[in-house]
Amino acid sequence: MKVVLTQDIKDLGKKGELVNVADGYGKNYLIPRKLAVLADNAAMSELKNRESAKQHHIAMEKKKATEDAAVLEGKTIKIAANAGQNGKLFGSVTSKEIAERIAKDFSIEVDKKKIVCDDIRSYGQYTCVVKLYQGISATLYIVVGE
């Protein structure tokens, strides 16, 4: 018997998957507990619609990430910081500050965890990589000064 799972079930499958189970298991356990529905035409069309919507959403995310990467690639961001006499900063420039500056300068929201950068603890120019999507990233230059 073919059923569409409505919840994740260990050792069987994830929510929304079409699985083949024994007739008794499906009729006496899965369907009465609303863990699955019988794979009829309505359930199959809903499954196909959900899958196509998911693919469309992924395509839109990739498109946006590619556009954002084109905007950010090779750009320079200037960050002002206080330092001592030898040019060593009081503290450091964090990825949170870089993410806020990207949002302010380019109107692109980036999670601070997606910014890969060396420790910025003194004045100078640094290179950072912003990972926007799986396989899509942009290289930024950070200039730290007064």
CA angle at 111 for the pair 108 and 116, rounded to the nearest 5°: 105
- The 10s digit of each residue's pLDDT in 14-69 is 988 899 999 999 999 999 999 999 998 988 888 889 889 999 999 999 999 999 99
Residue-level pLDDT at 142: 93
Kindly report, as residue ranges, where domains of CATH 3.10.430.100 are found in the chain: 66-145
Measured distance CA(143)–CA(120) in Å, rounded: 10
What is the structure's pLDDT at 32?
95
pLDDT at 87: 79
In angstroms, the CA 81 to CA 121 distance is 10
What mean pLDDT comes out for the span 83-88? 84
What average pLDDT does this structure show over 92-110?
Answer: 91
* CATH 3.40.5.10 residue spans of the chain: 2-63
Residue 145's pLDDT is: 84
What is the distance between the alpha carbons of residues 29 and 50, in angstroms, rounded to a whole number? Answer: 25
What is the model's pTM? 0.70
Given the candidates 3.30.450.40, 3.10.430.100, 3.90.1150.10, 3.40.1190.20, the CATH classification of the domain at 66-145 is 3.10.430.100
Per-residue confidence (pLDDT) for residue 50, from 0 to 100: 87
Q: For residues 10, 11, 17 and 22, what is the CA-based torsion angle, rounded to 10 degrees? A: -120
What are φ and ψ of residue 140, in 5° steps? -120, 155
Residue 83 has pLDDT above 90, yes or no: no
Give per-residue pLDDT as tens, 102-128: 999 999 999 999 999 988 888 889 999
Task: Name beta bridge partners: 59.
Answer: none
Place domain 2-63 in its CATH homologous superfamily. Answer: Ribosomal protein L9, N-terminal domain (3.40.5.10)
